[in-house]
């Protein structure tokens, strides 16, 4: 069973990487060349930054799931360990909107709170 969980983890990482790389190359870049994007907060820059972090946050989540699968495969997935992985995944997810929208999209705050609560409870 451990081998299957490790295989699933590898697939989750590969899926996340492919999603980010191929999505950036074939979807986001082409989308951002359009002239009719909505102008939120006065320009289309906020729109493109929001779409970019929203796209890549999926990859961060899949990497977090991969970590859970690895620990489940090793047989050492505890509640504390699970909460640590969840907390770190939410904190990493919060970094994307914080940096990409320069803090204008307030989801980073909620993601940091969720991550912080999970990490606090893991201790």
Q: pTM of the prediction?
A: 0.91
Weakest-pLDDT range from 28-32, 40-44, 108-112, 117-121: 40-44
Position 42 scores a pLDDT of: 82
What does the DSSP 8-state code read for residue 39? -
Kindly state the tokens that stand for 107.
């989801």
Residues 6+ apart with CB under 8 A from 30: none
Position 40 scores a pLDDT of: 85
Q: Which of 23, 75, 78 has the alpha carbon at shortest distance from 51? A: 23
pLDDT (tens digit, 9 = 90+) per residue, 63-120?
A: 999 999 999 999 999 999 999 999 999 999 999 999 999 999 999 999 999 999 999 9
How many domains is the chain partitioned into structurally?
Answer: 1
Residues for the chain: how many in total?
A: 123
Q: Which domain holds residue 55?
A: 2-122
Confidence of residue 43 (pLDDT cuts 50, 70, 90): confident
């Amino acid at each position: 069973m451990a081998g299957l969980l490790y295989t699933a983890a590898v697939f989750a990482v590969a899926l996340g990487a492919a999603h980010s790389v191929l999505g950036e190359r074939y979807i986001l870049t082409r989308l951002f060349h359009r002239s009719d994007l909505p102008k939120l907060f006065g320009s289309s820059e906020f729109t493109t930054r929001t779409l970019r972090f929203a796209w890549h946050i999926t990859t961060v989540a899949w990497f977090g799931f991969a970590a859970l699968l690895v620990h489940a495969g090793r047989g050492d997935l505890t509640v504390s360990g699970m909460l640590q992985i969840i907390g770190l995944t939410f904190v990493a997810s919060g970094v994307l909107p914080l940096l990409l929208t320069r803090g204008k999209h307030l989801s980073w705050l909620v993601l940091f709170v969720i991550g912080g609560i999970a990490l606090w409870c893991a201790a």
